[in-house]
């Protein structure tokens, strides 16, 4: 049989080059057909690879509950406190708190080094509290002695089951999630809320005043540990230099030993 294609005569069937595309070799066609059939079968059986299910987005209230519960379970923590503005830690308002660093161990042990200002002079004070007993160092000599009664602030209130950070996280208002951030190399959720001064008063020995007090919290995304808490006084005519407390927490749950100072043995 003669065929005419593009001005050429062919005998029998058309030449392969006369098709729109060269046909695949038979073995390759069989392989592709078999692969397609397997893919369809696996998909139908639910065995084909699927995109991972995104993790649920937790609300601000859910994150607060997780962090509060985690803090209640934590037996020890290291803290670093930075204080901006005016905060006095004695009843005569002579000792202005600048910052503090120390360790807390449940139920009632704390070891702290304060940076303070007394009569425009920067000083360092050390404090150890065990139960109802407290000792501080003398500003002039550095010797240990019983803490004076006018030295009112006790850092162990941070761990209080009634007025500490944990319970306060359950009493804040208008909690919202902000953009996630990184604290000390750890990815953290950032929350912002408000709280009235009566609620936050025991935590700061009533040195932070005015309502509402803004509360910023940073919570470890992996462990739910509270990494940072910041309390900010509202501005006002009676507060020309509003206080801002920034508390960093680390070494959660590590073994910490706090004993009385040598002079108290």
Do 17 and 65 have their domain in common? Answer: no
Q: In what helix (H) or strand (E) does residue 217 lie, and over which residues does it extend? A: strand 213-220
Do 34 and 69 have their domain in common? Answer: no
Average pLDDT over residues 189-194: 97
pLDDT digits 0-9 by tens, 150-172: 665 667 777 787 888 888 888 99
Tokens of 239: 């507060």
pLDDT digits 0-9 by tens, 16-58: 444 444 554 544 444 444 444 433 333 343 334 454 444 468 9
User: Is residue 179 included in any domain, yes or no?
Assistant: yes
Q: How many CB atoms lie within 10 A of CB 110?
A: 21
Do 149 and 204 have their domain in common? Answer: yes
Tokens of 37: 């059939």
User: Is residue 49 included in any domain, yes or no?
Assistant: no
150: helix, strand or coil: coil
User: Is residue 55 included in any domain, yes or no?
Assistant: no
pLDDT digits 0-9 by tens, 72-129: 999 999 999 999 988 777 777 788 888 999 999 998 899 999 898 888 888 898 999 9
DSSP 235: P
CA dist 180 and 227 (Å) reads 13
**pLDDT, greater one: 193 or 14:** 193
Do 71 and 199 have their domain in common? Answer: yes
CATH code of the domain containing 238: 2.50.20.20
Q: What pLDDT does 153 receive?
A: 63
Domain ranges, residue 35: 2-44
Give the chain's domain count: 2
Which residues, including other chains, have CB under 8 Å from residue 242's CB and lie 6 or more apart?
85, 210, 232, 233, 234, 235, 236
């Amino acid at each position: 049989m003669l065929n005419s294609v593009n001005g050429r005569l062919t005998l029998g069937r058309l030449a392969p080059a006369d098709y729109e595309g060269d046909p695949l070799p038979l073995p390759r066609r069989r392989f592709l057909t078999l692969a397609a059939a397997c893919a369809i079968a696996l998909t139908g059986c639910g065995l084909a690879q699927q995109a991972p299910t995104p993790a649920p987005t937790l609300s601000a209230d859910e994150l607060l509950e997780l962090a509060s519960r985690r803090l209640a379970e934590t037996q020890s923590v290291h803290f670093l406190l930075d204080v901006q503005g005016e905060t006095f830690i004695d009843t005569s308002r002579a000792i202005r708190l600048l910052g503090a660093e120390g360790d807390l161990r449940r139920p009632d042990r704390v070891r702290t080094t304060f940076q303070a200002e007394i009569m425009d002079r920067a000083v360092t004070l050390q404090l150890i509290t065990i139960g109802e007993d407290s000792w501080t160092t003398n500003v002039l000599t550095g010797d240990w002695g019983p803490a004076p009664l006018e030295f009112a602030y006790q850092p162990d209130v941070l761990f209080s089951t009634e007025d500490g950070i944990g319970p306060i996280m359950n009493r804040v208002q208008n909690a919202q999630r902000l953009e996630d951030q990184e604290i000390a190399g750890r990815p953290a959720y950032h929350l912002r809320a408000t709280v009235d001064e009566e609620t936050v008063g025991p935590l700061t020995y009533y040195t932070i005043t005015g309502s509402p007090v803004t509360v910023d919290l940073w919570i470890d995304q992996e462990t739910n540990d509270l990494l940072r808490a910041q309390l900010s006084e509202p501005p006002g005519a009676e507060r020309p230099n509003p206080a801002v407390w920034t508390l960093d927490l680390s070494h959660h749950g590590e073994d910490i030993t706090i004993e009385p100072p040598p002079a108290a043995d």
